[in-house]
């Protein structure tokens, strides 16, 4: 019940303006306390310390709630940087990013804790010179990330970043990473907005370096040191607890507990279907000229001007009446490649949706010899009719390839030792069990089905990014009914089936 209450507390609409207003007010209060304590040297510098410190603490905290979300965002950046440098004179750098992807969660926790500690150091005035330079470097790092993403808005879908001659008008749809992840799922910021935010933050960064001696210092050296140490230890533990042992303590994603995904899916799809085209980019097939025109202008002059010799490169659409979320992308397919989305959105029974965004396994292909029977047709003629009979001609040895799949032992234990008992009891009680997998071959799925040994479990496939959005655990358990999320469990938080039955299966 506490988890549900926490979710409701944070169920609100937050914008950058409202967040900035709250931070500004808190900064005024904190600065007032610094002035009353006579610890300030410059009210203006103290206010900048308070504002940036509180902003960094809040920004780091909302990401600490869901460090896996930040890790997934870093994976996106690493993938884009790998592509960015791959065909350039800096191609040697590109090989670094796949390696960094393997350590994205560690990098995520480090950056989150560093951001929070830096915020505390600004508030306390710890090691002013070091803090000023660290703040500058961190803001520059954020500016580089958001600036790169924003600038990809000028690169057409078929263009390359460093081929500046192909750059055209800015379009948000061209951006490779559509959300900077600065405030996690708590507040989604367009990279363009976030880039200009970071440019503004460079102003206090330069001021701190220039006016380091004017920064306030609170408390003595030892208490400041202990506060920083405890902040590091406390938030490192907090970050790790929110993905190793349990789901994020607050869920800002659209697939939160209590969400009616069936209704929201229908609304978003209808809103997307009603979106109108605003403008389009045309290219003259003979001269290569590229123009951007409004949709009204296009149709008004279609027959006289744009009909022959022009082809549409891109169409810009308006914003839907209902903001699009990941719920719009919800789609599942059976392992035999037919869509099964309605199983989850329209199912009337309790549905245990088991999600594994990445089925870890290895495949070893071996050669084996089998007996292959060659048939021939014997024809028997009679006075009345002709009879054809298949008879064995020869039996020969035939070499075939056999794929042997070995599922990661830890993941297999999660299923067989941790979840199988729940599956079997739920199915025996007449409920549905559906396993949704990302990045799995048919052979791997068949092997997992064999290990679980219950033919009533149905297996599906889905996009791994969608599955990561629904639940952070791998595997994770989601209980659905009538297209609504009743509850979600991390694999290490799953209670006994009897407890689930008592509390949720009414």
pLDDT, one tens digit per residue, over 366-393 is 777 766 677 666 666 566 666 666 666 6
Cα dihedral sign, 95-98-100-103? negative
Is position 133 within any domain? yes
State the chain's mean pLDDT as an integer: 88
Is it the case that residue 191 has pLDDT exceeding 60?
Answer: yes
Region of poorest pLDDT, from 255-269, 310-324, 352-366, 410-424: 310-324
Residue 189 dihedral angles phi and psi, to the nearest 5°: -115, 130
Q: Are residues 159 and 80 in the same domain?
A: yes
- What is the C-alpha separation between 27 and 17, in angstroms, rounded? 15
Please, what is the Cα angle at 183 between 49 and 467, to 5 degrees? 160
Is position 495 within any domain? yes
Question: What does the pLDDT look like over 199-237, one tens digit per residue?
Answer: 999 999 999 999 999 999 999 999 999 999 999 999 999
Is position 343 within any domain? yes
Q: What number of H helices and E strands is found in the chain?
A: 18, 11
Q: Are residues 238 and 349 in the same domain?
A: no
Q: Are residues 379 and 499 in the same domain?
A: no
Is position 447 within any domain? yes
Is it the case that residue 2 has pLDDT exceeding 60?
Answer: no
More confident of the two residues 76 and 89: 76
Question: What does the pLDDT look like over 447-460, one tens digit per residue?
Answer: 999 999 999 999 99
Q: Are residues 313 and 176 in the same domain?
A: no
Q: Are residues 453 and 342 in the same domain?
A: yes
Per the CB < 8 A criterion, the answer to whether 354 and 477 are in contact is yes
Q: Are residues 353 and 376 in the same domain?
A: no
Q: Are residues 237 and 344 in the same domain?
A: no
More confident of the two residues 37 and 163: 37
Q: Are residues 399 and 412 in the same domain?
A: no
How many other CB atoms sit within 10 Å of the CB of residue 196?
Answer: 15
Question: What does the pLDDT look like over 412-428, one tens digit per residue?
Answer: 999 999 999 999 999 99
Q: Are residues 117 and 212 in the same domain?
A: yes
Q: Are residues 239 and 99 in the same domain?
A: yes
More confident of the two residues 89 and 57: 57
**Both structure tokens of 349:** 């029974």
What pTM, to 2 d.p., does this model score? 0.83
Is position 259 within any domain? no
What is the reported pLDDT for 281? 84
Could you give the number of structural domains in the chain? 4
What is the reported pLDDT for 11? 42
Beta-sheet pairing, 333-334 with 458-461: antiparallel
Q: Final residue of a domain: which of 405, 422, 438? A: 405
Is position 476 within any domain? yes
Q: Final residue of a domain: which of 405, 440, 459? A: 405
What is the reported pLDDT for 6? 39
Is it the case that residue 266 has pLDDT exceeding 80?
Answer: yes
Q: Are residues 355 and 366 in the same domain?
A: no
Q: Are residues 169 and 199 in the same domain?
A: yes
How many other CB atoms sit within 10 Å of the CB of residue 410?
Answer: 8
What is the reported pLDDT for 3? 42
Region of poorest pLDDT, from 107-121, 157-171, 320-334: 157-171
Q: What is the CATH number of the domain that holds 422?
A: 3.40.30.10
Is position 78 within any domain? yes
Distant-in-sequence, close-in-space partners of 505: CB < 8 Å, separation ≥ 6? 350, 429, 431
Q: Final residue of a domain: which of 296, 317, 338? A: 317
Confidence of residue 159 (pLDDT cuts 50, 70, 90): confident
Is position 83 within any domain? yes
Domain that holds residue 387: 362-405
Per the CB < 8 A criterion, the answer to whether 130 and 225 are in contact is no
């Amino acid at each position: 019940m506490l988890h549900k209450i926490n979710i409701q507390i944070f169920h609100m609409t937050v914008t950058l303006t409202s967040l900035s207003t709250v931070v500004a007010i808190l900064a005024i209060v904190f600065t007032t306390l610094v002035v009353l304590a006579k610890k300030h040297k410059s009210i203006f510098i103290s206010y900048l310390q308070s504002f940036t410190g509180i902003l960094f603490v809040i920004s780091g905290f909302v990401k600490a709630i869901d460090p896996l979300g930040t890790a997934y965002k870093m994976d996106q950046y690493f993938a884009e940087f790998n592509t960015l440098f791959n065909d350039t004179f800096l191609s040697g750098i590109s090989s670094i990013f796949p390696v960094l992807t393997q350590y994205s969660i560690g990098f995520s926790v480090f950056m989150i804790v560093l951001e929070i500690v830096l915020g505390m150091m600004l508030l306390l005035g710890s090691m002013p010179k070091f803090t000023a330079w660290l703040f500058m470097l961190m803001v520059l790092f954020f500016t580089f990330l958001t600036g790169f993403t924003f600038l990809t808005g000028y690169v057409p879908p078929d263009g390359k970043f460093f081929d500046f001659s192909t750059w055209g008008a800015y379009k948000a749809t061209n951006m490779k990473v559509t959300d900077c992840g600065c405030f996690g799922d708590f507040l989604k910021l367009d990279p363009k907005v976030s880039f200009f935010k970071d440019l503004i933050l460079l102003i206090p960064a330069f001021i701190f370096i220039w006016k380091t001696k004017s920064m306030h210092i609170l408390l003595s050296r030892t208490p400041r040191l202990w506060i920083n140490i405890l902040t590091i230890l406390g938030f490192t533990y907090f970050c790790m607890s929110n993905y190793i042992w349990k789901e994020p303590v607050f869920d800002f994603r659209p697939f939160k507990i209590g969400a009616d995904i069936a209704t929201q899916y229908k609304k978003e799809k209808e809103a997307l279907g009603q979106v109108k085209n605003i403008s389009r980019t045309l290219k003259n097939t003979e001269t290569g000229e590229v123009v951007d025109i409004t949709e009204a202008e296009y149709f008004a002059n279609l027959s006289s001007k744009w009909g022959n010799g022009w082809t549409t490169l891109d169409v810009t659409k308006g914003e839907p009446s209902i903001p699009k979320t990941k719920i719009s992308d919800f789609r599942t397919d059976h392992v035999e490649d037919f869509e099964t989305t309605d199983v989850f959105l329209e199912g009337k029974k309790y549905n245990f949706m088991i999600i594994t965004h990445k089925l870890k396994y290895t495949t070893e292909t071996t050669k084996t010899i089998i007996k292959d029977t060659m048939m021939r047709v014997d024809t028997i003629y009679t006075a009345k009719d002709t009879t054809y009979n298949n008879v064995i001609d020869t039996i020969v040895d035939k070499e075939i390839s056999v794929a042997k799949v070995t599922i990661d032992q830890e993941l297999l234990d999660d299923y067989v030792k941790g979840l199988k008992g729940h599956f079997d009891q739920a199915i025996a009680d007449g409920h549905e069990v559906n396993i949704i997998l990302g990045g799995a071959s048919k052979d791997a799925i068949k092997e997992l089905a064999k290990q679980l040994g219950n033919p009533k479990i149905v297996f599906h496939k889905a996009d791994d990014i969608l599955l990561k959005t629904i639940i952070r655990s791998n595997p994770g358990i989601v209980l659905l009914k009538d297209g609504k999320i009743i509850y979600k469990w991390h694999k290490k938080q799953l209670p006994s089936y009897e407890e689930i039955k008592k509390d949720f299966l009414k």
